[in-house]
Amino acid sequence: MARKEWIAMLLAGGQGSRLGMLTRNIAKPAVPFAGKYRIIDFSLSNCTYSAIDTVGVLTQYKPLLLHSYIGIGSAWDLNLEGGGLYILPPYVGEKGGIWYKGTANAVYQNIDFIEYFDPRFVLIISGDHIYKMDYSLMLEYHKDKNAEATIAVIEVPWEEASRFGIMICGENGAVLDFAEKPKKPRSNLASMGVYIFNWDILKEYLFLDEEDPLSENDFGKNVIPRLLKDKRKVYAYPFKGYWKDVGTIESYYTANMDLLKPLPEMDLFDDTIKIYSKPSVLPPHYIGSGGGVKNSLVPDGCVILGQVERSVLFPGVYVGEGSYVKDSILLPNVKIERESIIWRSIIGENTTIGSRVKVGLKSDKYFNQEALTVLGDGIIVPDGVEIEQGASIKSWQREEAKIS
């Protein structure tokens, strides 16, 4: 087989434990986002746009839904001869096998896969981020700089810089130093977790990393610092645009709500990089005579008989007559019966809320702007129940207190 210019390795094995209720049953890349997508759609669609024809998707944590969602990649036009999308879970060989210990170890365990395609360059990305990016421009930059490794960076507000992996760069873009979550950041250029390596260099450093018993086998923490220590040619590729790690419930909520702004930083209606997703095969959505929707995103298959304001709905959501949903995210197939109120809440997939239920209200402080209320997947909330603001509910049992 002819040598490939480049292939992508997409890290999709993380649990995303800080997303709590949202990743109880599914991996973070499979979490629904922006009304009809799942988080991994963004990275996969970027690959499609960048004309990468071979993508290995490394999975580990609760992969069932993720695997069935990705399939053979046809939704992203990645079902290709001589390449395509491959799902790469951990496996065993003659000498047994181990789970993926870290991001670098996950790629290390799939060296055979990469060797099979024999690429000149390997793009490492993750399925955890929301952004639209043309990786092919980054590859050009990598080649122009004659780099051995290139790290995509984005300017973040200085006050937030200590939450990221921060790059200190020379004027020509060469990375001089790297600090993971520094207390006193010396720069505001944050690593986006997007790397391009020359394959021969990456392979060498994956072996070195694996031999190091003290290594956590992580790209950011171990592989990049080692490359810098060895004075390898590492460059930073400055990316301009929207990029968000929806790592926590709060950032997940904010990123969804950002889309409702009149001019969102990431415009889903801008087709420049089209975001593809697995189609849901549902009819158009219906808004009833007594229904009203304002400042919201509504995908196919929804039936809205009540009022919805400043909310993001997902396919198959039902809002019954007289119900009122505000500042909320209703994940796929959420059903809300009649005359219920949902405020500032995230309601998990397939959860049914009965009639005259109140979710996320504080009787004395109706307009409390603070806490989000989160209901997990597949819960059935009976009629007339009140769920206090800030509650986080994973199952409903009759005897159970209101807050679990």
Partner 1 sequence: MMGIITNTKSEDILGELTQHRSMSAVPFGCRYRLIDFPLSNMVNSGIKNIAVVMTNKSRALLDHLNSGKEWSLDRKSEGLFLLPSASPRLFQKKNKFDLKDLWENFDYLQRARQKYVVLSGNNVIFNGNYQKGLQYHKEKGADVTLYYKEEGAHNLSPGSFNYFEVKENGRVTSIHSCPSKTENNQVSLETIILERSLLMEIVKLAADTGNWDLGDVLLDNINELKVFGYPFKGYAGKINSLVSYFRHSMELLQPQVQQELFFANGPIYTKIKDGPPVKYTETAETANILAGSGCYIEGKVENSLLFRGVAVGRGSLIRKSIIMQNSIIEENVVLENVILDKDVFVRKGTVLKGEEGKPVVIGKRTVI
Sites for partner 1 among residues 242-261 (CB under 8 A) = 260
Cα 92 to Cα 320: distance, rounded to the nearest angstrom: 50
Is residue 72 part of the contact set for partner 1 (CB under 8 A)? no
Size, binding site for partner 1 by CB under 8 A = 36
Give SS3 for 223. helix
Residue located via tokens 């086998």: 217
Determine phi and psi for 65, rounding to 5 degrees: -65, -40
Of the candidates 57, 66, 246, 297, which one interacts with partner 1 according to CB under 8 A?
Answer: 297
Of 120 and 285, the one with the shorter C-beta distance to partner 1 is 285
CB of 216 to partner 1, least distance (A): 38
CB of 300 to partner 1, least distance (A): 6
Closest approach of partner 1 to the CB of residue 309, in Å: 9
The distance of closest approach from Cβ of residue 290 to partner 1 in the complex, given in angstroms and rounded to an integer, is 7
Could you tell me if 268 and 275 are in contact, meaning their C-beta atoms sit under 8 angstroms apart? Answer: yes
Write the DSSP symbol of residue 284.
P
Question: In this chain, which of 282, 322, 350, 390 binds partner 1, going by CB under 8 A?
Answer: 282
Which of 216, 300, 321, 388 contacts partner 1 by CB under 8 A? 300
CB of 326 to partner 1, least distance (A): 13
Q: Which of residues 126-155 bind partner 1 (CB under 8 A)?
A: none
Please identify which residue in 147, 275, 319, 331 interacts with partner 1, judged by CB under 8 A: 275
For residue 284, the minimal CB distance to partner 1 (Å) is 4
CB 122, min distance to partner 1, A: 28
Q: Rounded to whole angstroms, how far apart are CA atoms 349 and 380?
A: 11
d(CA 320, CA 322): 6
Burial (CB < 10 A; 0-12, 13-18, 19+), residue 368, is: middle
Q: What is the dihedral of CA 182, 187, 191, 197, to 10 degrees?
A: -110
Q: Is 366 in the site for partner 1 (CB under 8 A)?
A: no
By residue count, the chain amounts to 404
Q: Judging by beta carbons within 10 Å of its beta carbon (0-12, 13-18, 19+), is residue 226 exposed, middle or buried?
A: middle
Site map 21..60 versus partner 1, x via CB under 8 A: -------------xxx------------------------
Distance CA 142, CA 126 (A): 19
Burial class (CB in 10 A: 0-12, 13-18, 19+), 164: buried
Q: Does 237 bind partner 1 (CB under 8 A)?
A: no
| One residue of 31, 78, 313, 334 binding partner 1 per CB under 8 A | 313
The rounded distance, in Å, linking the Cα atoms of 287 and 284 is: 10
Binding test (CB under 8 A) with partner 1, winner from 136, 162, 251, 295: 295
d(CA 232, CA 211): 19
283: left (phi over 0), alpha (psi -120 to 50) or beta: beta
2 binds partner 1 (CB under 8 A): no
Least spacing, CB of residue 273 vs partner 1, in Å:
12
Pairing of the two strands 189-198 and 121-126: antiparallel
Considering the complex, what minimum distance in angstroms separates the CB of residue 10 from partner 1? Answer: 20
Binding test (CB under 8 A) with partner 1, winner from 92, 98, 214, 281:
281
305: tokens are 């008989």
Tell whether residue 332 is a contact of partner 1 (CB under 8 A). Answer: no
Contact stretch for partner 1 (CB under 8 A) within 155-163, 198-206, 267-275, 349-357: 267-275
Minimal distance, residue 21 CB to partner 1, in Å: 22
In the complex, the residues that contact partner 1 under the rule CB under 8 A are 34-36, 74, 260, 262, 268-269, 274-277, 279, 281-300, 303, 312-313
